[in-house]
Amino acid sequence: MIKTAALIFALLIVSNALFSQSIVGKWKTIDDETGKAKSVVEIYKSGNKYFGKVVQILNPAKKNSKCIECKDSRKDQPVMGMEIIKDLEYDADDKEYDDGTILDPANGKIYDCKVWLENSKTLNVRGYVAFFYRTQVWLKAD
């Protein structure tokens, strides 16, 4: 009985630690089609919302790329330093960050966005329009 109670207590502590972890930090974006790392995005908190900007482009040939297809103020702006995630809010009930947007600089499209931690080193990033979505797995950058 004592061992069972200790095990349950340990599991509660571990699960609570996972859910209280923050998405703030640097994340390697992984292309869901090629499986290769493309960039590093730094997610930060401002007020009660979370944002993400490109802080490193890993392909040397694309280091000076611009968002040619963007339709907003980011049109023709460098992707390096660009804010691509905006206005995410933490939803404690669902243990995810949602109600934000994400920009795909490759095609200039802006999608609704939500993200959630799979574990301390894995972030699921979903861009969607209505019922159509694409989810990428980003890895904690060292």
Position 3 scores a pLDDT of 54
The DSSP H or E segment spanning 16 is helix 2-20
pLDDT tens string, the chain, 142 residues long: the values are 555 434 344 334 444 444 457 999 999 999 878 889 999 999 999 999 999 999 999 999 999 999 999 999 999 999 999 999 999 999 999 999 999 999 999 999 999 999 999 999 999 999 999 999 999 999 999 7
Structure tokens at 21: 């972890």
Position 16 scores a pLDDT of 42
Cα distance between residue 114 and residue 124, in whole Å? 8
Cα distance between residue 9 and residue 80, in whole Å? 45
Position 118 scores a pLDDT of 96
All domains in the chain, ordered by first residue: 23-140 (2.40.128.520)
Q: How many CB atoms lie within 10 A of CB 66?
A: 15
Q: Are the beta carbons of 47 and 61 closer than 8 angstroms? A: no
pTM of the model: 0.84
Query: 3-state DSSP call for residue 44?
Result: strand
Position 2 scores a pLDDT of 59
